[in-house]
């Protein structure tokens, strides 16, 4: 059996679910347009440059969840999934997921985006297992803090190992481990799997893939 791991944003999705969540909140008039838009753009630029402070970003991104009831955020998330992210899943991404399913591979999404937003997207893709950055909860409401280790950069390796242990698996149980990603931020995990694949890669990842003779694919 093989393990097929997928990044989500700009890999299986044509766009970034975190960034578009911010745009959705702005469109709904639920956050200050100027303040939120400027911060959203800054963090997204930092991510693309490989210099994002994940804790600073989470403090910004999770503030809305802290300041609003779970009932409201659940309603908004349902609309966001149906109106926005459902249209971001590409045909090629679905075909790739289906290919691995038909091969009998175990499928997993690992994303830096919070698991609250991304779990429903994972379900749309037919992938049951997802590792995302988790939001801390107290009495059914979000606190605005990160729970555990953010699944970002080296954190993706840590979270993968925790997941494998929970599933009573080890990397040795798989003949091949694929990891599909678009981002230089995922180089730590890409470098340790048996089958790294650069999907819609940024320039840094593209150069690394060429140097290491990793496959480069386009899922858009």
Active site residues: 7, 9
**For residues 185 and 52, what is the distance between their CA atoms, to the nearest angstrom?**
9
Instruction: Please choose, from the candidates 144, 142, 27, 123, the residue with its C-alpha nearest in 3D space to the C-alpha of residue 74.
Output: 142
The number of beta carbons lying within 10 Å of the beta carbon of residue 102 is 8
Q: Which positions ≥6 away from 77 have C-beta within 8 Å?
A: 116, 117, 120
Cα 13–chain centre separation = 9
How many other CB atoms sit within 10 Å of the CB of residue 86? 12
Q: Are strands 3-6 and 177-181 parallel, antiparallel or unpaired?
A: parallel
Do 118 and 132 form a contact (C-beta atoms < 8 A)?
yes
User: Contact, 37 vs 26, CB < 8 A?
Assistant: yes
Report the relative pairing of strands 141-147 and 130-138 from DSSP bridges: antiparallel
Residue 38: partners with Cβ closer than 8 Å, 6 or more residues away: none
């Amino acid at each position: 059996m093989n393990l097929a791991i997928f990044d989500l944003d700009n890999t299986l999705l044509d766009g970034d679910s975190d960034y578009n969540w911010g745009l959705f909140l702005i469109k709904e008039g639920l956050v200050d347009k100027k303040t939120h838009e400027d911060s959203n753009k800054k963090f997204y630029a930092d991510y693309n440059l490989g210099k994002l402070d994940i804790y600073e970003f989470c403090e910004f991104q999770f503030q809305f969840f802290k300041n609003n009831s779970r009932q409201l955020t659940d309603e908004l998330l349902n609309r966001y999934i149906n109106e926005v992210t459902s249209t971001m899943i590409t045909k090629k991404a679905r075909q790739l997921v289906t290919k691995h399913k038909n091969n009998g591979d175990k499928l997993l999404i690992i994303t830096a985006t919070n698991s609250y937003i991304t779990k429903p997207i994972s379900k749309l893709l037919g992938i049951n297992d997802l590792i995302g950055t988790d939001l801390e909860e107290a009495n059914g409401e979000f606190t605005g803090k990160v729970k555990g280790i953010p699944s970002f950069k080296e954190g993706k390796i840590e979270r993968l190992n925790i997941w494998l242990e929970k599933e009573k698996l080890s990397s040795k149980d798989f003949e091949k481990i694929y990891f599909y990603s678009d981002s230089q931020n995922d180089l730590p995990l890409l470098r340790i799997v048996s089958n790294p694949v650069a999907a819609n890669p940024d320039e840094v990842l593209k150069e690394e893939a060429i140097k290491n003779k990793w496959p480069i694919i386009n899922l858009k």
